[in-house]
């Protein structure tokens, strides 16, 4: 198996990009954005996975918020985490 240096890989990628049609470039742009977002989502999941549990007692308003969230989930009023993160400018 032959390995390439990073610079060789970059040159090869740019030479391929130069040969693409406009519609193919748009597809490539979408794919690259997908890869970037996937990486960000993966980091976010790792942060959540490694977070330590809180040891504080929940306030009454927090408990009510959880109950309201449960009702919204039961009624199907949910959205993708990705959409929420985009709205908040997190990704």
Q: How distant is the alpha carbon of residue 10 from its chain centre?
A: 25
pTM, full prediction = 0.38
Phi-psi region of 76 (alpha: psi -120 to 50; beta: other; left: phi over 0): left
Read off the pLDDT band of 66 (50, 70, 90).
very high
Q: pLDDT tens digit string along 14-25?
A: 999 999 898 899
With residue 41 as reference, give the H or E element that holds it: helix 22-50
pLDDT at 62 over 80: yes
Q: pLDDT tens digit string along 1-40?
A: 568 888 999 999 999 999 989 889 999 998 888 877 777 7
Q: Do the beta carbons of residue 8 and residue 15 sit within 8 Å? A: no
């Amino acid at each position: 198996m032959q390995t390439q240096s990073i610079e060789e890989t970059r040159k090869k990628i740019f030479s391929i990009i130069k040969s693409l049609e406009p519609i193919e470039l748009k597809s490539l742009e979408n794919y690259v954005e997908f890869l970037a977002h996937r990486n960000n989502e993966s980091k976010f999941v790792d942060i959540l996975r490694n977070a330590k549990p809180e040891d504080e007692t929940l306030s009454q308003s927090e408990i009510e918020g959880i109950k309201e969230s449960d009702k919204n989930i039961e009624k199907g009023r949910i959205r993708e985490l990705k959409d929420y993160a985009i709205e908040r400018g997190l990704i």
